[in-house]
């Protein structure tokens, strides 16, 4: 009887799917952040729609976090993502809850941009590249993490 090596981490296909899906999620959140804030139900609906994409990102993180041989900078990025990402979700929910208060909306968008531009997206630069390199799929995925417009003017 032959014994197959048990795979403890995600497959190459799972890594590709996770990076591709996460890239799509980031793009959708960026679209929201790049749209000038307004008040009212339509903007609240847009925030709610965006929240669904943002809530998917931790699922992709869990897939990539299962890779066994990631370098230290990638494991540090995973830890940082686990610590800071909840702030994005909390601020999106606050926009939904306060959709008629432009001051709250603007403050929440500023918070989201600060978290994403200074922590989340730079962590993804490291994690996506390390995960793709480890799994030998760098040529199959887009490793350029998209940025919202605000990142060009933020100081981290």
| pLDDT number for residue 7 | 55
Q: What is the model's pLDDT at position 9? A: 87
The least confident of 38-42, 84-88, 93-97 is 38-42
Spatial separation of the C-alpha atoms in residues 71 and 135, rounded to whole Å:
13
Over residues 90-104, mean pLDDT: 96
Residue 8's pLDDT is 77
Secondary structure class of 92 (helix, strand, coil): helix
pLDDT band, very low/low/confident/very high, at 5 (cuts 50, 70, 90): very low
pLDDT over 50 (residue 4) = no
Confidence band of 6 (pLDDT split at 50, 70, 90): very low
Within 10 angstroms of residue 4's Cβ, the number of other Cβ atoms is 5
Q: Please say if the pLDDT value at position 24 is more than 70.
A: yes
The residues spanned by each domain of the chain are 12-152
Find the mean pLDDT for residues 47-75.
95
- For the cut 80, the answer to whether the pLDDT of residue 64 exceeds it is yes
- Residues 18 and 64: their CA atoms lie apart, in Å, by 7
User: What is the rounded CA–CA span in Å between residue 129 and residue 132?
Assistant: 5
Cα atoms in the Cβ-side hemisphere of radius 13 Å centred on 100: 1
What's residue 79's pLDDT? 97
Quote the distance between the C-alpha of residue 93 and its chain's center. Answer: 16
């Amino acid at each position: 009887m032959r014994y197959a090596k048990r795979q403890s981490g995600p497959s190459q296909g799972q890594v590709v799917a996770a990076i591709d899906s996460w890239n799509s999620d980031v793009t959708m959140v960026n679209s929201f952040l790049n749209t000038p804030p307004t008040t009212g139900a339509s903007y609240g609906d847009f925030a709610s729609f965006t929240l669904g994409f943002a809530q998917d990102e931790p699922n992709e993180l869990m897939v990539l976090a299962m890779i066994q041989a990631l370098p230290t900078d990638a494991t540090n990025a995973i830890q940082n993502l686990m610590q800071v990402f909840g702030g994005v979700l909390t601020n999106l929910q606050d926009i939904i809850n306060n959709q008629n208060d432009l001051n709250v909306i603007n403050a929440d968008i500023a918070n989201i941009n600060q978290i994403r531009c200074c922590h989340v997206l730079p962590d993804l630069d490291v994690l996506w590249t390390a995960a793709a390199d480890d799994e030998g799929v760098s040529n199959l995925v887009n490793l350029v993490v998209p940025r919202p417009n605000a990142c060009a003017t933020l100081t981290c």
